[in-house]
Structures are given as C-alpha cells and as structure tokens.
C-alpha cells in the first residue's frame, strides 16, 4: 500500500495567520466598542442616579418647610406675619452630620440656604378638599420651591428643583352630619338615610339590618368594614350592604382638633373642662376650651349661683340680675328640679337653663346693657353659655338641662358643659310639622356635653321613677348640632356591649314607639363619656326597658354649609391638604 500525505504550503499558512489576525482585530474593536458603550452607559446611569438623588433632596427641601409650617399650624402658633422664618428652614435644620451636608439648598432664584415660599394670604375657600366636595374652610394656600445641588461631585454637578402647592385648612366641624374621632358604627334596624358628609378618624363599621343610604361623601382614616365590631353582641349577624350615592374612601388624612397634644379622645375631652390654674387661655388647649370661648359662664355651688362674662370682657366680674329679689339668683337658672335617668339608674342633680327666660333677660335691664356691650365688641348678641355645676352627692348624677328652647335668641345659642346635657321639648323650631327638614329660619345652635339626651315635650319629672309605659313621648323636633361622648362598644367581663351606634347617639328615656323624633343638625363624637357611662341596651331586653325607640326623621342641617350660620363657638379641625407637585428646571449657578 502506498500512503500519500497532503503537504501544507507556506502560502496557506500565511492566509490562515492573516485571517486569524483579522478576526482578532475585529474582536478587539468589538471589545473596545463594548467597553466604551458600557463606560458611557455607566456614566449616564450614574448621572441619572445623581439627578434622582438631587430631586429627592430638593423635595426634602420643600417638605422641611411644609413640615415646620404644619407643626406650627396644628399648634396654633403659625407666624403668618413672618414667613421668612419658614423660608429659612432647610433639611439641614433636621439632619445634622448626614446626607443634607452634601447638598447646597436654594430657592431656585440664586438665594442659598432657603426655599421660596409664597402665599396670597388666608381666605374662605369652598371645595377645599377634593375628596369632600362642598366643604369649606379658612385656607392659607401656599407654594414652596426648593432646589438642591450636590457638592463636590466633579463632572456630575447635577442640580434639581421641586415645587409643591399645599393648603393649611381650618374646617368647621359641624359641616359633617357625623364626625367621630373614635370608631364610628352605624347599624340601624329600620332603614336610615344619612344626608350629610361622614368622617371617621378611625374605622367605620356599617352593618344595617334593613337599609342605610349615604347621600354625601363618606371617609375613614382607617378602614370601612361592612360588619359589626367584634365586641358587638351582634357581630356576624345578618346585614345588608349600604348604598353610597357619593364616594366612600378609606385611608384618608386625619382631621385634628388643635389642642397642642395628640388627638386621643382622652385629651380631646378636656375641651369641656375648666382650665387648670395658670393655664394660658391662648395656649393650644386653652384656646379650644369651651369655658374660654363662651360669652357667659354660669357657676352653681351649694350656696349660690353666679354669672360672669367670658374672656371677651374679663373686667366685669359677676353680672347682676336685678329682676330677681333673691340674691345671687337668675331668672334663667333654676336648681331645684330632679329626675331619674333610667339608663344610668341614678337620680339627678339638675341645673335647668331656661332659654325663654334667657331671651327675656337679654332684653330687660338685667342683661340688656351687657348685650349691647357684646354687640359693640364682638358684633353679635350674647349667644354662648358654659354651665358649671359643682354640686355632688353620692349615688346621684349632676346634669344640665335646657328647657323652653323652641325660640332661641336672635344670634342663636350654644350651651356647653362638662356634665351630661339634656334637651327637653321642641328646640330651635319654627316648623312643627313632624319630620320637617325646613330650617330656613332657625337660629345657629349647638348643645355640648358629656352625653346628650332628648326628652320630649311630654316629659314629666314626676314620672321618671315609674316604668317606661308611664313616660310616653310625643312628637318632638330638635334643630341643633350635638357634640358629646358615647360609651364605646367593649368586652367587659366576657360580656359584649354595643355602643348603640350613631342611631342611638342621642339618648332617650321615654316610650317613643310610633312617635317621630325630628332632628336637623350635626352629630360629633370626640371622646368617651366620663359621667353618664352605662352601656346602651336594646329596648325591651334585660335592663334595656328604659326607653322605646322613636321613628327617626334625621337630616344634616344644611345651614351649617354657610359660614354665617354656624353655631356659636363651633370647633374647627385642621388639615394639611396637598396640591400639585412639579419638577422644575434648576436655576442654580
């Protein structure tokens, strides 16, 4: 066999080498290009990162201003006259020896270490909150701009600027048909309609048995549950879904009463109390106390009654009443009555505030001169009273009752007390048609206390110790805002108790079965009751045979949507409302 071998020529070796070198060159070119692209991409990425960090820093610059203004606003110490103090607030004011030191902050107009803050000043603004159409308040609209540039970054000297619009809003609380700082429960048996706005600073529990319709916006800072609370004896019972004609929103911003501390109900309830010795009446809590806000203060002791003027006229002292021959007595204050509150199971020590007599007192020598002074100094007649009854006795409940109030004084009337408050008979009524929601000629009015109980026009103190069938109610109408406490749903000793819900927020002590209670107003619950503390019990069950429920004809009083028709000394809640957020071209040298 002859073997033949193919010999590789020199020429062929040269071609192979050349081809290999070409491939190597192309590969190097591709590698170089890739490395160049990667390096360029890294630069772009890093530059974007630097820019995004600058945007975040500029946003922090606006937030520093907003945060300081909001703090002072909530504490009622906002310096409207010197906004420059807020312009000078930068993140360095809060972050020391940290990331803020790496940035130069400016107002985006060349002025360093400050932000640009502008405002046209306060005004009454309608539709102040986009989530609650129709709501109004006193608004301070503001615009803040901040620019930030990272220092010492060499080729990455990137700056950014941010602009934010916001409002600091003061909102009268009686614009809501229902406002709760606590959990709000609405679980009616009969069909119920809520015609005004609803706000809860915690959770809402909505589990009607027959029907519940909301005509206006509903919102909760927490969650909206379509069941009862777990400690409600009827938790998990049959219910129907509520009907929402407008929006219902969860996780909204809280509405806070500016009392200078947290808005826990245990703190908010102090607005009903007398100020402690030495408290500045213009401090956040002092400014919210009804005692400091009202026109007249009624003090009842075991030996005398005195009426003094509020802070608007501190030098007057005790107001005389020459229409009475009894020293230290006033025609519109009586202190001799007593009755039994069957829900509490206690007899009462009563201060009766007679509205009809008060109207007459305002127009005769006893009060006419003082009334004229009030008009001259405050531009309204005397229209708010705080009642403080110091009398106590073991096993008795000290209370305030408002009577003969069908017609109110010309400027309206607010009666406030730290005690449980009762309203007897028609109140602030011109239209006595049962179920009427005509409030076109009513006066601004509110009733404020530890709890609020409605007594019909047929109430008789003498029958209060007899069975509920002896306390037959008659058709009654009340037109006034209520601000009071409740006994919250709770588990006590393995026994579940229901608060009674919004449907039982006004308390009753009579047999209202088949009888209409007409109510037009606003119901505000900001704390737990401290004195009238017995749990609500369903009518006719166990200890619940102290009343029978009325036919409820309730509506929000739309007068309260007019700033001129709010009840005297209406509390205001505060809210920071954010508007447009914009990234701007940085104007930084």
354 falls within a domain: yes
- For residue 327, the model assigns a pLDDT of 45
Please indicate, yes or no, if residue 361 is contained in any of the structural domains: yes
Mean pLDDT of 200-224: 97
Q: Average pLDDT, stretch 74-85?
A: 84
**How many domains are contained in the chain?**
2
Whole-angstrom distance, CA of residue 418 vs CA of residue 93: 42
- CA distance from start to end of the chain: 92
Query: What is the pLDDT confidence band of residue 156, given thresholds at 50, 70 and 90?
Result: low
User: Closest by alpha carbon to 128, among 119, 136, 120?
Assistant: 136
pLDDT digits (tens, 9 = 90+) for 277-290: 999 998 989 999 99
507 and 433, same structural domain?
yes
pLDDT at 39 over 50: no
Torsion from C-alpha of 463, 466, 467, 473, nearest 10 degrees: 0
pLDDT tens per residue, range 543-573: 668 999 999 999 999 999 999 999 999 999 9
Is residue 569 in a domain? no
Has residue 381 been placed in a domain? yes
In a domain, 56, yes or no: yes
Task: Flag whether 321 is in a domain.
Answer: yes
DSSP labels for 359-379? HHHHTSHHHHHHHHHHHHHHS
Clarify whether residues 514 and 579 are in a common domain. Answer: no
Verify that 444 and 536 share a domain, yes or no. yes
Whole-angstrom distance, CA of residue 451 vs CA of residue 18: 101
Count how many residues are written for the chain: 589
User: Over the chain, what is the mean pLDDT?
Assistant: 89
> In Å, how far from its chain's centre is CA 178?
10
**C-alpha closest to that of 425 among 402, 445, 398:** 402
354 shares a domain with 472: yes
506 and 579: one domain? Answer: no
Both 455 and 580 in one domain: the answer is no
Residue 427 lies in a domain: yes
- The secondary structure of the chain in percent helix, strand, coil, rounded to multiples of 5, reads 25, 30, 45
Domain match, 416 and 506 both: yes
Residue 550 counted as domain residue: no
Dist. CA 484–CA 420, nearest whole Å: 8
**Alpha carbons 18 and 418: distance in angstroms, whole number:** 103
Both 339 and 471 in one domain: the answer is: yes
* pLDDT classification of 443: cutoffs 50, 70, 90: very high
The CA-atom distances, in angstroms, between 306 and each of 320, 358, 443 are 9, 14, 27
Query: What's the average model confidence in pLDDT over 90-115?
Result: 88
Question: How does pLDDT run across 353-393, given as a tens digit for each residue?
Answer: 999 999 999 987 678 888 999 999 999 999 999 999 999 99
* Residue 539 sits in the same domain as residue 579: no
Q: Which two tokens stand for residue 9?
A: 């020529």
Task: Let me know: does 169 contact 198? Beta carbons within 8 Å.
Answer: no
Decide: helix, strand or coil at residue 342: coil
What mean pLDDT is predicted for residues 86-112? 88
Tell me the residue range of the domain where 539 lies: 294-545
Separation between Cα atoms, residue 106 and residue 92, nearest integer Å:
12
297-339: pLDDT as tens digits? 999 999 999 999 999 987 766 676 544 444 446 889 999 999 9
The answer to whether residue 22 scores a pLDDT higher than 70 is no
For the chain, how many helices (H) and strands (E)?
Answer: 7, 35
Q: Are residues 342 and 402 in the same domain?
A: yes
Are 466 and 580 in a shared domain? no
Say yes or no to pLDDT of 583 above 70.
Answer: yes
DSSP code of residue 503: G
Please tell me whether residues 453 and 501 are part of one structural domain: yes
Q: What pLDDT shows up at residue 47?
A: 72
| Between 469 and 588, residue with greater pLDDT | 469
Rounded CA separation 573/581 (Å): 25
Coil vs helix vs strand at 408? coil
- For residues 360 and 362, give the distance between their C-alpha atoms in angstroms, rounded to a whole number: 5
């Amino acid at each position: 066999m002859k073997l033949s071998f193919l010999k590789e020529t020199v020429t062929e070796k040269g071609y192979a080498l050349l081809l290999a070198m070409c491939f190597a060159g192309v590969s190097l070119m591709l590698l170089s290009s890739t490395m160049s692209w990667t390096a360029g991409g890294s630069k772009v990425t890093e530059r974007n990162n630097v820019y995004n960090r600058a945007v975040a820093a500029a946003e922090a610059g606006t937030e520093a201003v907003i945060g300081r203004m909001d703090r002072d606003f909530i504490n009622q110490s906002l310096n409207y006259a010197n906004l420059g103090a807020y312009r000078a607030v930068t993140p360095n004011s809060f972050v020391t020896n940290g990331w803020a030191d790496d940035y130069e902050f400016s107002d985006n107009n060349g002025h360093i270490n400050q932000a640009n803050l502008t405002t046209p000043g306060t005004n009454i603004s309608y539709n102040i909150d986009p989530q609650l159409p129709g709501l109004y308040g006193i608004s301070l609209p503001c615009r803040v701009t901040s620019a930030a540039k990272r220092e010492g970054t060499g080729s990455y000297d990137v700056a950014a600027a941010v602009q934010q619009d916001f409002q600091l809003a003061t909102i009268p609380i009686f614009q809501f048909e229902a406002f709760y700082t606590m959990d709000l429960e609405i679980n009616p048996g009969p069909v119920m309609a809520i015609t005004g706005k609803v706000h809860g600073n915690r959770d809402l529990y909505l589990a009607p048995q027959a029907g519940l319709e909301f005509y206006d916006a509903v919102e909760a800072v927490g969650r909206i549950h379509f069941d009862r609370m777990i400690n409600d004896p009827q938790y998990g019972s049959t219910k129907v879904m509520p009907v929402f004609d407008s929006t219902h929103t969860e996780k909204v911003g809280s509405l806070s009463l500016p009392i200078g501390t947290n808005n826990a109900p245990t703190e908010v309830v102090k607005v009903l109390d007398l100020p402690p010795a030495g408290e500045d009446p213009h401090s956040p809590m002092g400014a919210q106390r009804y005692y400091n806000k009202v026109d007249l203060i009624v003090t009842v002791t075991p030996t005398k009654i005195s009426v003094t003027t509020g802070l608007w006229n501190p030098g007057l002292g005790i107001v005389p009443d020459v229409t009475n021959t009894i020293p230290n007595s006033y025609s519109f204050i009586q202190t001799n009555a007593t009755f039994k509150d069957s829900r509490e199971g206690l007899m009462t020590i009563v201060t009766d505030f007679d509205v009809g007599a008060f109207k007459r007192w305002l127009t005769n020598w006893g009060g006419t001169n003082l009334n004229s002074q009030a008009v001259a100094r405050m531009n309204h007649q005397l229209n708010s009273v705080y009642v403080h009854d110091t009398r106590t006795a073991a096993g008795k409940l000290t209370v305030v009752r408002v009577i003969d109030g069908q017609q109110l004084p010309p400027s309206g009337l607010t009666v406030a007390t730290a005690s449980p408050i009762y309203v007897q008979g028609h109140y602030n009524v011109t239209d006595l048609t049962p179920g009427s929601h005509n409030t076109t000629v009513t006066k601004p009015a509110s009733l404020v206390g530890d709890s609020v109980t409605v007594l019909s026009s047929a109430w008789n103190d003498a029958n209060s110790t007899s069975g509920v069938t002896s306390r037959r109610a008659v058709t009654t109408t009340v037109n006034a805002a209520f601000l009071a406490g409740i006994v919250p749903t709770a588990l006590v000793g393995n026994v579940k108790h229901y608060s009674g819900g919004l449907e039982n927020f006004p308390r009753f002590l009579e047999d209202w079965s088949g009888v209409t209670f007409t109510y037009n107003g606003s119901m505000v619950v900001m704390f737990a009751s401290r004195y009238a503390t017995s749990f609500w019990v369903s009518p006719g069950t166990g200890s619940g045979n102290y009343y029978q429920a009325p036919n409820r004809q309730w509506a929000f009083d739309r007068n309260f949507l007019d700033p001129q028709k709010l009840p005297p000394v209406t509390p205001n809640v505060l809210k920071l409302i954010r508007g447009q957020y914009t990234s701007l071209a940085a104007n930084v040298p």
